[in-house]
Structure 1
Amino acid sequence: MAPSTRPRHTRIPKDKFSVYFGNVKSQSYNDSAPGRGAASHQSLRSIAWNPLGSLVATGSSDKTLRVWNPEKPNVRSSTELKGHLAGIEKIAFNPVKEAELCSVSGDGVVKFWDVRTKACVNEVKGLGSSHTLAWAPDGSSLLVGNKRGELFQISPTNSAVISTHQLSGDANQMAFCWSGEKVFVPTGEGTIRILSYPDLEPVFHVSHAVKEGESNEFVLKGHTSACLTTEMSPTGRYVATGGADSIIALFDTKDWICQRTVSRMVGPVKNISFSFDGSYLVGGCEEGSGLEVTHTETGEHVHTFKTAGPCETVAWAPTRYCLAYSDLGVLRIIDVDRK
């Protein structure tokens, strides 16, 4: 499947965002089969684009893993990948390979797929109730986390775990810096740890004295309750974090200061996505009926995409202004270049 060759908008100013997107209709990609029943709004758990933006994959709680051509919304043009024995929790394409997809499931198995042949090319078993994953930027390894707070470093070409690291709480959605030397790990206390990779040791420490028994590890603080997800901007200038307190916090990566917060979200923020140029961000929430788009540099609200229900997972395409999101269990894509 070749990427689209349609003309694309290179950069949309914030004061023109609603002008461009206001009259664009979303396209649904529905794989519901007769007899399957109506999808619940929570059934679609994860959305992932491949590096070229030519394919988009979806993982669902009903064990369905499907790869779509965004140009062809009919389910007959999609590819279903079968093999997991429990719901799909998180999926992500290898950042340097357009056809290699990784999926983690509640069955404790991580699978690597060649989406061209539908083949599972590698799997790593025994990882517990895994629900998060993050690829290293060079695509040579990745981190998988489970609900027991275990982090596993694994390889797409090895069926054995490379190393295991125990956290003090649940392993929520992590993100790498673009050099691959640091990984940002959200915690149940609302902080974000900055760990080296692959050693997973604290990168920074505070310079002031700490009380006996307290750690001198420097952490990012931006939430009043659990931090659930992190995302690095494409420019590398910001780390965005989403919390159970319905807040998105933006930290600069020079001084590690929280520059601004986004408080228009409704309900816990389950994931965050930046547009390809880093200009805009959007968060997926457990509640509400709309997607709020924020201008990264100013924190200004620029647009609301109205939805039928909560949208827990969202993903901007990596090459253009094209947003994929879940709405009542269905994949929808809104593309400013689609006429």
Structure 2
Amino acid sequence: MGSSKQRLQGLQDYFKTNNKIKEFRPHQQKVHSVRFNCDGKKLASGSNDKTVVVYSVDRDRITKDKSYHGHTGPVDQLIWHHTNADLLATASGDKSVRIWDTKIQKNVTTVNTKGENINITWSRDGNTIAVGNKEDLITFIDTRTNKIRAEEKFNFEINEIMWNRTSDQMFLTSGQGSIHVLSYPNLEVLNVLKAHPATNICIDFDPSGKYFAVGSADALTSIWDADELACIRVFSRLDWPVRTVSFSHDSKLIASASEDHFIDISCIETGEKVYEIKLDAATFSIAFHPKQYLIAFACDDKKEDGRDAGNFKVFGFSE
């Protein structure tokens, strides 16, 4: 018991010391999605202004690399390749998916899809990208041929999609409050988990693949055992629908955010609160760094004239 309390105290002390926030304003309109790449040396943001911006991350320094243009609609979500630190994929309302090679700083692939895309995920083996649109159609793109391998239309609202660590199962969060677990590539229904009484909005797997977290419109964040498909803990510190969740690199912490003006950071093992990042606006995307306790997040911040700030922020600096 003492060691557990000591670990919690150590984490709380760490965040109290490393609690500085740096702000970046690379966009003209609201930022929808922020993500670190697999080695933590790059950070990307996608915006309603149709652009993608990539930054270089070097310890306490974050510097802008390049703005990427090409999409003709909002960039709603982006995802990095799990092992190739240079490859980034974006889902846009312009009915396309683009893959960017940030090493040569070019768009290397564009795949046209049937609808306005709102969510995207990349399989752990790197061979497939799945993208979902507003009509709940998921399109599977083979990244070795850059061609569409399959399409699957669902008769329920799908808000976010993600493969498990072994890429043989796909998890869908639904408007029915359930999590649909499908086999891959056969897409057979393996399980339908009654996770929440309200719409499930977001999902994230921890780096080890042992857990996954679901954020719901009931303002709860649930933690699940990925093998047993059993809920092991529920966090209830937020008052608004949970829009975004992210696990820390060591799988010890979960960050959850919503229209509440703070980001909750909690201990997965004990359920105790570790830290609260106080904000002035609702948060719609958060992402832990893959190697340290840095958190990138995008809020609904406004300029003095009421226009979107086009910004994102990074928490976790000592100065």
Q: TM-score, normalised by structure 2?
A: 0.90
- 1:62 deviation in Å? 1.3
Return the alpha-carbon distance in structure 1 between the equivalents of residues 226 and 129 of structure 2.
Answer: 22
Does residue 87 of the first structure (1) align with residue 74 of the second (2)? Answer: yes
3-state secondary structure, aligned to 2:40: coil
Inter-CA distance 180–126: structure 2 relative to 1 (3 Å threshold)? closer
C-alpha contact 2:24 2:313 (8 A) present in aligned 1: yes
User: Quick one: which amino acid aligns to residue 167 of structure 1?
Assistant: F
User: Quick one: which amino acid aligns to residue 202 of structure 1?
Assistant: V
- 1:78 deviation in Å? 2.6
Does residue 102 of the first structure (1) align with residue 97 of the second (2)? Answer: no
Specify the alignment match of 2:123 in structure 1: 136
Specify the alignment match of 2:313 in structure 1: 332
Normalized per residue, the structure richer in strand is 2
C-alpha contact 2:157 2:176 (8 A) present in aligned 1: no
Displaced runs of 4 or more, over 6 A: none
- 1:119 deviation in Å? 1.0
Specify the alignment match of 1:307 in structure 2: 279
Does residue 17 of the first structure (1) align with residue 17 of the second (2)? Answer: no
Return the alpha-carbon distance in structure 2 between the equivalents of residues 112 and 26 of structure 1.
Answer: 30
Percent identical among aligned pairs is 26
Specify the alignment match of 1:215 in structure 2: none
Gaps of 5+ in 2: 1-5, 302-309
Return the alpha-carbon distance in structure 2 between the equivalents of residues 303 and 28 of structure 1.
Answer: 20
User: Quick one: which amino acid aligns to residue 118 of structure 1?
Assistant: Q
User: What CA deviation, in whole Å up to 9, does each residue of 1:133-188 have, x standing for no partner?
Assistant: 11100111121111111111102343431101111123321121111111111111
- 1:13 deviation in Å? 2.7
Does residue 47 of the first structure (1) align with residue 34 of the second (2)? Answer: yes
- 1:30 deviation in Å? 1.7
Return the alpha-carbon distance in structure 2 between the equivalents of residues 131 and 123 of structure 1.
Answer: 16
User: What CA deviation, in whole Å up to 9, does each residue of 1:8-64 have, x standing for no partner?
Assistant: xxxx932222211114211112225xxx5xx5xxx1100111110000000011112
3-state secondary structure, aligned to 2:197: coil
C-alpha contact 2:46 2:53 (8 A) present in aligned 1: yes
User: Quick one: which amino acid aligns to residue 202 of structure 2?
Assistant: T
Find the partner of 2:160 among 169, 173, 177.
173
User: Quick one: which amino acid aligns to residue 25 of structure 1?
Assistant: K
Specify the alignment match of 2:307 in structure 1: none
3-state secondary structure, aligned to 1:70: strand
Does residue 226 of the first structure (1) align with residue 199 of the second (2)? Answer: yes
Q: How many residues get paired?
A: 302
Return the alpha-carbon distance in structure 2 between the equivalents of residues 152 and 13 of structure 1.
Answer: 43
Find the partner of 2:293 among 317, 321, 326.
321
Does residue 200 of the first structure (1) align with residue 187 of the second (2)? Answer: yes
3-state secondary structure, aligned to 2:10: helix
C-alpha contact 1:49 1:56 (8 A) present in aligned 2: yes
Does residue 273 of the first structure (1) align with residue 246 of the second (2)? Answer: yes
C-alpha contact 1:122 1:158 (8 A) present in aligned 2: no
Return the alpha-carbon distance in structure 2 between the equivalents of residues 159 and 137 of structure 1.
Answer: 17
- 1:73 deviation in Å? 4.1
C-alpha contact 1:184 1:192 (8 A) present in aligned 2: yes
3-state secondary structure, aligned to 2:20: coil
Return the alpha-carbon distance in structure 1 between the equivalents of residues 274 and 199 of structure 2.
Answer: 27
Farther-moved stretch of structure 1 (229-238 vs 106-115): 229-238
C-alpha contact 2:164 2:205 (8 A) present in aligned 1: yes
Return the alpha-carbon distance in structure 2 between the equivalents of residues 119 and 255 of structure 1.
Answer: 42
Return the alpha-carbon distance in structure 1 between the equivalents of residues 207 and 22 of structure 2.
Answer: 26
Find the partner of 1:258 among 204, 214, 231.
231
Return the alpha-carbon distance in structure 2 between the equivalents of residues 13 and 89 of structure 1.
Answer: 37
Specify the alignment match of 1:111 in structure 2: 98
- 1:229 deviation in Å? 1.3
C-alpha contact 1:247 1:265 (8 A) present in aligned 2: yes
C-alpha contact 1:28 1:73 (8 A) present in aligned 2: no
3-state secondary structure, aligned to 1:22: helix
Return the alpha-carbon distance in structure 2 between the equivalents of residues 157 and 127 of structure 1.
Answer: 21
3-state secondary structure, aligned to 2:45: strand
Find the partner of 2:218 among 221, 224, 245.
245
Return the alpha-carbon distance in structure 1 between the equivalents of residues 52 and 187 of structure 2.
Answer: 30
C-alpha contact 1:88 1:103 (8 A) present in aligned 2: yes
C-alpha contact 1:132 1:171 (8 A) present in aligned 2: no
- 1:70 deviation in Å? 2.8
Specify the alignment match of 1:8 in structure 2: none
Return the alpha-carbon distance in structure 2 between the equivalents of residues 315 and 88 of structure 1.
Answer: 17
C-alpha contact 1:52 1:318 (8 A) present in aligned 2: yes
User: What CA deviation, in whole Å up to 9, does each residue of 1:63-108 have, x standing for no partner?
Assistant: 121001134445xx33101000011000011111100000010000
